[in-house]
């Protein structure tokens, strides 16, 4: 009997929170789990999104893509991947994720992409794999874990998950799966830094009930538009307290529209225009101070129809995604300046995470008792902490810390890294539709910190004599008007190099280095310098 082996290739999501994409390969057939994007650090450098570097798998025999849930970091790269892979691949996704995917693909080139709906308990054959979808609790409805039967053994992939004491059946199901014997576990590491357990959505609901009961004036609740469960009970609470609701923000409107079409949201007291009543409940976008979102416009007084005023209460029913703290703080300040009061995670329990905390993760490991373990969905420190937690619960588990591009081989008796493929983060300027090269990004970063000086020299083609220049033009560096003498000296520095008998390229390079060195010698920052010598 040949010994089976399975290769595991994470392309994203191990080493960063975002761009989740994992490839399982067995007997020449590939199964892809999720295909997401990430919003980059480099937002300020004009980069819009980051997607996984999947070029190494484009030629492989991909039997299917399975999607665990509809968050952007699990589906956002699909349009790009499907365009690049240039062959039809079956996609299996739970209901709400499927709607969001189809929305993304509208207007895209592949009109013949088929996305099949899966629900809790559905099993699909994907080549040598059998994938069973297992509903879990997360911050978006229709979230799935995956119970995958492979020639090597059973795999359980949690997707993004948490436990909710009010939703016992999910926990029971996972317990049953654990009893079947799990060879290899992939589990969500996002909140491994957090002690205890995440709050139940029911607790949040109770808090909102109290808040809405107490508030006589308007209440603005910003939430992730994908958190339909929360939006749904907020609508119920509004109805209970005889308050009408106004929804605002592009993704809020489109997501709730999808939810209504799927029969998930039933509430009728949503008004769609002229939000003038004094005790309305507003459910809006902008919890991350996104540039054109509803709450951001309200904070910056640029909303076309609504103005904040004293007596209003603004609630951020969300967490502060790392990197957005300062933008959200500014937003909160501007809201307070208009006389409204604010409530947010720091000062009130009006949000709970969609990811398991340590206590929940320990329970997971206790129930699953896997032989092998690969932590996923986290930055490096999360992965190492999760590895340590796993060992606390199951001292005999063997785990491997993988990073994007590592090739891990799983067999009946081992789990080890056997190879590494160089992968990078692929930056997409979604306007240019282009990959932004690292050079362009590096140029922008330097430009942003130091500015640029353009040096123009015109020479007589025949004699090499300088006709015009060097002329210096600075942007984002120092004011030339204020520093005339300095720039005159810099011109002389550049001029000196021109006396040499060298090629244009060599002279340009020497001027570039020389001018930079000159400014550095004056205790200034070294700007980008772009010399151009034109012979006419």
What residues make contact with a second copy under the rule CB under 8 A? 15, 41, 44-46, 193-195, 322-323, 325-326, 329, 332-337, 341-342, 346-347, 379-381, 383-384, 388, 429, 431-434, 437, 439-440, 443-452, 454, 456, 458, 467-469, 471, 473, 475-479, 482, 523-525, 528, 530, 532, 534, 536
Closest CA to 335 of 304, 298, 303, 282: 298
Q: How far apart are CA 261 and CA 407, in angstroms?
A: 42
Residue carrying the six token digits 């359980």: 156
Report in angstroms how near the CB of residue 388 gets to a second copy at its nearest: 8
Nearer to a second copy, 232 or 348 (CB): 348
Q: φ, ψ for residue 11 (rounded to 5)? A: -105, -15
Residue 196: count other Cβ atoms within 10 Å of its Cβ: 9
Report in angstroms how near the CB of residue 6 gets to a second copy at its nearest: 26
Report in angstroms how near the CB of residue 289 gets to a second copy at its nearest: 13
Nearer to a second copy, 31 or 389 (CB): 389
The token pair that represents 53 in the structure block? 């570097």
Report in angstroms how near the CB of residue 473 gets to a second copy at its nearest: 6
Q: How far apart are CA 166 and CA 188, in angstroms?
A: 21
Contact present, 158 and 136 (Cβ < 8 Å): yes
Report in angstroms how near the CB of residue 300 gets to a second copy at its nearest: 14
Contact present, 497 and 507 (Cβ < 8 Å): yes
Report in angstroms how near the CB of residue 160 gets to a second copy at its nearest: 19
C-alpha triplet 220, 284, 250: angle, nearest 5°: 160
Report in angstroms how near the CB of residue 200 gets to a second copy at its nearest: 20
Question: What Rg value do the Cα atoms of the chain yield, rounded?
Answer: 28
Nearer to a second copy, 475 or 492 (CB): 475
Sign of the four-CA dihedral 25, 29, 33, 36: positive
Nearer to a second copy, 418 or 534 (CB): 534
Report in angstroms how near the CB of residue 322 gets to a second copy at its nearest: 5
Nearer to a second copy, 125 or 449 (CB): 449
Give a three-class secondary structure readout of 474-527.
Answer: EECCCCCCCCHHHHHHHHHHHHHHCCCCCCHHHHHHHHHHHHHHHHHHCCCCCC
Nearer to a second copy, 172 or 449 (CB): 449
The token pair that represents 180 in the structure block? 């079947």
Report in angstroms how near the CB of residue 403 gets to a second copy at its nearest: 9
Nearer to a second copy, 89 or 530 (CB): 530
Report in angstroms how near the CB of residue 471 gets to a second copy at its nearest: 7
Report in angstroms how near the CB of residue 113 gets to a second copy at its nearest: 23
Q: Are strands 143-150 and 129-136 parallel, antiparallel or unpaired?
A: antiparallel
Report in angstroms how near the CB of residue 266 gets to a second copy at its nearest: 36
Q: How many CA atoms lie within 13 A of 484 on its CB side?
A: 1
Nearer to a second copy, 45 or 410 (CB): 45
Q: Report the length, in residues, of the chain.
A: 536
Contact present, 118 and 133 (Cβ < 8 Å): yes
Residue carrying the six token digits 């310098």: 529
Nearer to a second copy, 145 or 474 (CB): 474
Q: How far apart are CA 382 and CA 372, in angstroms?
A: 18
Helix-strand-coil percent breakdown of the chain, rounded to 5? 30, 25, 40
Q: Are strands 143-150 and 153-157 parallel, antiparallel or unpaired?
A: antiparallel
Nearer to a second copy, 149 or 341 (CB): 341
Nearer to a second copy, 363 or 456 (CB): 456
Nearer to a second copy, 41 or 419 (CB): 41
Nearer to a second copy, 102 or 432 (CB): 432
Closest CA to 62 of 92, 25, 15: 25
Closest CA to 356 of 528, 176, 190: 190
Report in angstroms how near the CB of residue 65 gets to a second copy at its nearest: 28
Q: φ, ψ for residue 342 (rounded to 5)? A: -125, 145
Report in angstroms how near the CB of residue 334 gets to a second copy at its nearest: 8
Q: How far apart are CA 190 and CA 170, in angstroms?
A: 20
Q: How far apart are CA 184 and CA 403, in angstroms?
A: 17
The token pair that represents 95 in the structure block? 């209901």
Q: How far apart are CA 118 and CA 90, in angstroms?
A: 12
The token pair that represents 197 in the structure block? 């357990």
Nearer to a second copy, 46 or 514 (CB): 46
């Amino acid at each position: 009997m040949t010994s089976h082996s399975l290769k595991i290739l994470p392309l994203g999501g191990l080493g960063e929170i975002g761009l989740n994409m994992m490839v399982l390969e067995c007997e020449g057939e590939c199964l892809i789990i999720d295909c997401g994007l990430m919003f980059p650090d480099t937002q300020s450098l004009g980069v819009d999104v980051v997607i996984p570097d999947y070029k190494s798998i484009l030629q492989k025999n991909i039997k299917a893509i399975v999607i665990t849930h509809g968050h952007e970091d699990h589906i956002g790269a699909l349009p790009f991947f499907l365009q690049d892979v240039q062959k039809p691949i079956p996609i299996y996704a739970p209901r709400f994720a499927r709607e969001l995917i189809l929305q993304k693909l509208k207007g895209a080139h592949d009109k013949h992409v088929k996305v099949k709906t899966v629900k809790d308990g559905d099993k699909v054959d994907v080549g040598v794999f059998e994938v069973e979808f297992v509903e879990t609790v997360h911050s978006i409805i229709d979230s799935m874990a995956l119970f995958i039967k492979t020639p090597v053994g059973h795999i359980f992939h949690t997707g993004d998950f948490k436990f909710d004491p009010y939703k016992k059946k999910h926990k029971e199901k996972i317990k049953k799966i654990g009893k079947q014997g799990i060879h290899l576990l992939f589990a969500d590491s996002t909140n491994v830094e957090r002690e205890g357990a995440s709050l139940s959505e029911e607790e949040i609901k109770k808090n909102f009930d109290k808040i809405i009961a107490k508030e006589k004036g308007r209440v603005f609740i910003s939430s992730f538009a994908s958190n339909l469960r929360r939006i749904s009970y907020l609508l119920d609470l509004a109805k209970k307290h005889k308050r009408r609701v106004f929804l605002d923000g592009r993704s809020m409107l489109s997501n709730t529209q999808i939810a209504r079409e799927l029969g998930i949201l039933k509430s009728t007291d949503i008004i769609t225009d002229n939000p003038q009543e004094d005790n309305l409940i507003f459910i809006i976008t902008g919890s991350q101070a996104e540039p054109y979102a509803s709450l951001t416009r309200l904070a910056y007084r640029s909303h076309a129809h609504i103005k904040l005023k004293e007596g209003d209460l603004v609630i951020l029913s969300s967490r502060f995604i790392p990197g957005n703290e300062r933008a959200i703080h500014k937003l909160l300040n501007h809201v307070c300046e208009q006389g409204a009061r604010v409530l947010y995670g720091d000062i009130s329990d009006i949000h709970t995470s969609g990811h398991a905390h340590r206590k929940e993760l320990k329970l997971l490991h206790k129930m699953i008792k896997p032989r092998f373990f690969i932590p996923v969905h986290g930055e490096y420190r999360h992965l190492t902490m999760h590895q340590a937690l796993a060992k606390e619960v199951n001292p005999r588990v063997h785990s491997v810390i993988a990073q994007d591009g590592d090739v891990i081989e799983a067999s009946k008796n081992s789990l080890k890294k056997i190879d590494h493929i160089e992968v990078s983060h692929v930056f997409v300027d979604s306007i240019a539709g282009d990959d932004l090269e690292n050079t362009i990004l590096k140029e922008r970063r330097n430009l942003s910190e130091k500015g640029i000086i353009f040096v123009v020299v015109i020479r007589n083609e025949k004699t090499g004599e300088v006709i015009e220049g060097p002329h210096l033009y600075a942007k984002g560096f120092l004011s030339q008007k204020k520093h005339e003498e300095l720039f005159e000296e810099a011109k002389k520095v550049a001029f000196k190099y021109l006396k040499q008998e060298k090629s244009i390229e060599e002279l340009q390079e020497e001027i570039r280095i020389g001018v930079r060195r000159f400014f550095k010698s004056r205790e200034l920052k070294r700007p980008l310098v772009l010399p151009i010598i034109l012979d006419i």
